[in-house]
């Protein structure tokens, strides 16, 4: 299972690198970017990256959301720095901020899900609306 987690994470990181460092996209991606704007994709992309990092780094049920947030943010920072080397690409502090916001949202989502699962596992706890 570990190789599957790592493979999915690396594939997604490759996709983010392609999106961050590429200069031409398939028409469907161009339309989506034109419709939603890159900010939505940065936010959602780094929320998902954080969740994938947490899943990959988890050991014995421990999700480690803060480590996942830091890893996703660091990767986003690396990609922004690498944009200095790509003609027609410009690094953006705004993009980096949106990446951080998305990573935090992914981490908070993991924390919320973990809290909900912990409440459900407590003995004697009944689900809301089960009366």
Q: DSSP 3-state helix, strand, coil percentages of the chain (rounded to 5)?
A: 75, 0, 20
Average pLDDT, stretch 57-72?
83
For residue 87, the 8-state DSSP code is T
- Shortest CA distance to 8 belongs to which of 72, 67, 53? 53
- Greatest mean pLDDT among 36-40, 99-103, 126-130: 99-103
Q: What is the pTM of this model?
A: 0.83
* pLDDT tens sequence across 14-62: 999 999 998 788 898 888 888 888 899 999 999 999 999 998 988 766 6
When the pLDDT of each residue in the chain is averaged and rounded to a whole number, the result is: 87
Phi-psi region of 24 (alpha: psi -120 to 50; beta: other; left: phi over 0): beta
């Amino acid at each position: 299972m570990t190789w599957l987690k790592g493979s999915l994470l690396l594939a997604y990181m490759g996709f983010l690198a392609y999106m961050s460092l590429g200069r031409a996209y398939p028409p469907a991606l161009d339309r989506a970017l034109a419709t939603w704007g890159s900010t939505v994709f940065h936010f959602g992309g780094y929320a998902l990256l954080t969740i994938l990092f947490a899943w990959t780094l988890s050991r014995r049920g421990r999700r480690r959301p803060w480590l996942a947030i830091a890893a996703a943010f660091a990767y986003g920072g690396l990609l922004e720095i690498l944009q200095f080397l790509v003609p027609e690409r410009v690094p953006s502090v705004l993009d980096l901020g949106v990446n951080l916001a998305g990573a935090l949202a992914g981490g908070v989502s993991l924390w919320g899900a973990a809290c909900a699962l912990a409440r459900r596992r407590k003995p004697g706890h009944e689900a809301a609306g089960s009366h």
